[in-house]
Amino acid sequence: MAKPMTKTQLVAALAEEMGSDKKAAAAALDAVTSVITREVSGGGAVTLPGVGKIYCRERPERMVRNPATGEQIKKDADKVVKMTIAKALKDSVNN
C-alpha cells in the first residue's frame, strides 16, 4: 500500500489542479475542512460528489472486553464519524 498523501502534498496538487498558488489552495482546503467539521459535529452530514458522504452516527451503550485481561466492561454511548464511499470512486479504484 502506498503512503498516504500529506497535507503539504495535497495542497501542492490542489494548487496545480486549480492553477493557483499554494496559499490559495491551502486556504480552500482549510475552509472545506472547517465546513465539514462544523456540519458533522453538529449532527449533520456532508456529501462530497464523487468521493462519498461523511456523517456522524451514535453508538449505544454496550459491553466490551478488555483484550489484555478478558474482563467485560460497560462502555458508555458515544458518537463516531463514518464515511460511505461513492460508487464512482469505488468503480474507478476497481477498474
Domain coordinates in residue numbering, the chain: 1-42, 45-95
Say what the pLDDT of residue 91 is: 93
45, three cell numbers: 452530514
**Band of pLDDT at residue 19, cut at 50, 70 and 90:** very high
Q: Hey, what CATH class is 45-95 in? A: few secondary structures
Question: Is pLDDT of 26 > 90?
Answer: yes
Q: What is the mean pLDDT of residues 64-71?
A: 92
Summarize pLDDT for 38-64 with one digit per residue, the tens.
999 999 999 999 999 999 999 999 999
